[in-house]
């Protein structure tokens, strides 16, 4: 493999040519076209690439519920916090969850009060902590989509086979396809095409999106995360829309196989079963969550360790729930960039580095295009230098072409 191989995927010279073609295609659309990604890593990658600012005005990118931290509801966090207050419990968690506010506290606040809460990089680390602390209950916070749940399933299987009986998981795992179905059915949301999540798809493959094309006639493209990937995927989606076709295309075929990862899928099936699940701001989505099967219930923290959980209180006025569904822009929220900033977040969309609000806060100035269907007219005047000048250049080229 060439040394500069991976760099080629982020080569701006390459993407410039396709920008022109995207613009040409966009001219054919009489109305606004809404394309939605449902992956926090895409949210950030799209912002970082500056794509939003160089897209034609009638092509709009929305962020869907692709940030697991953002869709994890308060009662889950409140339970984790309640567990952390017990002296014989060590909470282990991915770092993303630390600062997410529950009803009255957060894991980070509890940690500063001396509670034993440890950030881990992998479920293997959590298992190790359990092995090293046999007199404590070690609870891992199982949050994440299909990419993450097999790694948690593996830890549960290991715990059982190695009899690490002081290990358990508090599962809030969620599934992407049921959320996509809900969005496709939503009467007040227009999505012309889905940019499907790359790493979720490495596990689930290409087939679980087929219903979107077949039943709802919504084009889908599974995309990688580099600028080359994103531009190519956008172009493929727009081409489908232009041609009136709806199919599932796999732009990220270097990592996504049609069948996904059969080992990982088997493991998920072995340990978890699907259940109706509560998504923050959205409500209950049928069969969209994973709970630990009965055979493994001695490793299910929810069943194993009863605890009194405080009454749920949501932050009043926080629009996170609507932002997650692409129905509102972060800028529509009265708290955005005022009381709610990455330093002192009110809602989870501002806490998570993958949340729409934080991505918007960090990179929005560069892009200055508003997500969310409720706020089309805001923020469009503030395009900035770099990408803007490129836009101008491309426009001139277009004019020349038309004249010629």
Partner 1 sequence: MCLGVPVKVIQREGNEGIGEFKGVKRNINFALLDEVKVGEYVILHAGFAIQRLDQDDAEKTLELFEELAKANDEE
Q: Are strands 89-93 and 137-142 parallel, antiparallel or unpaired?
A: parallel
Which CB sits closer to partner 1, 126 or 291? Answer: 126
Given 199, 328, 369, 383, the residue binding partner 1 (CB under 8 A): 199
| Contact call for residue 67 and partner 1 (CB under 8 A) | yes
| Contact call for residue 336 and partner 1 (CB under 8 A) | no
Residue span 155-184 as binding mask against partner 1, x where in contact by CB under 8 A, dash where not: ------------------------------
Which CB sits closer to partner 1, 45 or 182? Answer: 45
| Contact call for residue 147 and partner 1 (CB under 8 A) | yes
Q: CA triplet 39, 376, 192: central angle to 5 degrees?
A: 50
**Percent of residues in the chain assigned helix, strand, coil, to nearest 5:** 45, 15, 40
Query: Which of these ranges, 78-86, 197-205, 207-215, 282-290, lies near partner 1 under the rule CB under 8 A?
Result: 197-205
Which CB sits closer to partner 1, 20 or 341? Answer: 20
Q: Provide the minimum distance between the beta carbon of 333 and partner 1 in the complex, in angstroms, as a whole number.
A: 22
CA distances from 39 to 1, 146, 254, 314 (A): 28, 11, 18, 24
| Contact call for residue 92 and partner 1 (CB under 8 A) | no
Given 145, 167, 296, 335, the residue binding partner 1 (CB under 8 A): 145
Given 26, 81, 172, 267, the residue binding partner 1 (CB under 8 A): 267
Which CB sits closer to partner 1, 162 or 217? Answer: 162
| Contact call for residue 202 and partner 1 (CB under 8 A) | yes
Closest of 85, 28, 109, 143 to residue 310, by C-alpha? 85
| Contact call for residue 368 and partner 1 (CB under 8 A) | no
State residue 215 phi and psi, 5-degree precision.
Answer: -90, -35
The end-to-end CA distance of the chain, in Å, is 42
Q: How far apart are CA 63 and CA 61, in angstroms?
A: 7
Q: CA triplet 300, 304, 307: central angle to 5 degrees?
A: 115
CA distances from 99 to 106, 108, 206, 381 (A): 6, 5, 34, 33
DSSP H helices, 327-384, are: 348-351, 356-367
| Contact call for residue 143 and partner 1 (CB under 8 A) | yes
Q: Which residues pair with 336 in a beta bridge?
A: 340
CB-facing half-sphere around the CA of 119: CA atoms within 13 A: 9
* Residues in 212-251 that interact with partner 1 by CB under 8 A: 224, 228-229, 231-232, 235, 251
Q: Provide the minimum distance between the beta carbon of 401 and partner 1 in the complex, in angstroms, as a whole number.
A: 9
Closest of 201, 195, 123 to residue 155, by C-alpha? 123
Given 121, 135, 306, 308, the residue binding partner 1 (CB under 8 A): 121
Which CB sits closer to partner 1, 151 or 341? Answer: 151
Three-state secondary structure call for residue 89: strand
Which CB sits closer to partner 1, 147 or 373? Answer: 147
Query: Which of these ranges, 180-188, 195-203, 290-298, 322-330, lies near partner 1 under the rule CB under 8 A?
Result: 195-203
Residue span 14-43 as binding mask against partner 1, x where in contact by CB under 8 A, dash where not: x--xx-xx--x--------------xxx--
Q: CA triplet 233, 199, 368: central angle to 5 degrees?
A: 50
Q: What is the DSSP letter of 140?
A: E
Binding footprint of partner 1 on the chain (CB under 8 A): 1, 5-6, 8-9, 14, 17-18, 20-21, 24, 39-41, 66-69, 94, 96, 121-125, 143-145, 147-148, 150-151, 154, 197-200, 202-203, 224, 228-229, 231-232, 235, 251, 253-257, 261, 263-264, 267, 352, 354
């Amino acid at each position: 493999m060439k040394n500069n191989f991976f760099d080629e995927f982020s080569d701006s010279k390459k993407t410039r040519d396709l920008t022109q073609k995207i613009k040409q295609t966009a001219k054919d659309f009489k109305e606004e076209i809404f394309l939605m990604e449902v992956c926090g890593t895409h949210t950030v990658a799209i912002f970082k690439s500056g794509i939003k600012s160089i897209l034609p005005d009638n092509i709009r990118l929305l962020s869907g519920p692709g940030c697991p931290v953002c869709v994890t509801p308060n009662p889950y966090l409140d339970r984790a916090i309640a567990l952390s207050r017990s002296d014989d419990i060590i909470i282990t968690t991915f770092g993303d969850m630390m600062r997410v506010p529950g009803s009255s506290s957060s894991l980070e606040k509890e940690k500063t009060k001396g509670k034993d809460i440890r950030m881990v990089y992998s479920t293997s680390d959590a298992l190790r902590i359990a092995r090293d602390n046999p007199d404590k209950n070690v609870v891992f916070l199982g949050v994440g989509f299909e990419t993450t749940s097999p790694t948690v399933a593996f830890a549960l299987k290991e715990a059982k086979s190695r009899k690490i009986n002081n290990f358990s998981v508090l599962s809030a795992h969620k599934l992407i396809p049921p959320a996509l179905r809900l969005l496709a059915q939503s009467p007040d949301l227009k999505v012309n095409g889905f940019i499907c999540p790359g790493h979720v798809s490495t596990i689930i493959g290409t087939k679980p999106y087929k219903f979107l094309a077949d039943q709802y006639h919504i084009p889908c493209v599974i995309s990688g995360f580099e600028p080359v990937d994103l531009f190519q995927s956008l172009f493929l989606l727009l081409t489908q829309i232009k041609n009136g076709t709806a199919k599932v295309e796999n732009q990220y075929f270097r990592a996504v196989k049609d069948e996904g990862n059969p080992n990982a899928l088997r493991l998920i099936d072995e340990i978890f079963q699907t259940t109706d699940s509560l998504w923050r701001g959205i409500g209950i989505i049928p069969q969209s969550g994973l709970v630990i099967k009965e055979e493994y219930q001695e490793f299910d923290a929810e069943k194993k360790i009863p605890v009194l959980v405080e009454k749920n209180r949501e932050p009043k006025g926080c629009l996170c729930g609507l932002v997650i569904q692409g129905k509102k822009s972060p800028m529509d929220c009265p708290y955005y960039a005022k009381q709610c900033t990455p330093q002192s977040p009110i809602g989870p969309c501002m806490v998570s580095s993958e949340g729409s609000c934080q991505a918007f806060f960090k990179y929005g100035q560069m892009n200055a295009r508003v997500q969310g269907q409720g706020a089309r007219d805001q923020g469009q005047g503030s395009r900035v230098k770099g990408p803007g000048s490129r836009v101008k250049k491309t426009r001139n080229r277009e004019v020349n072409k038309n004249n010629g």
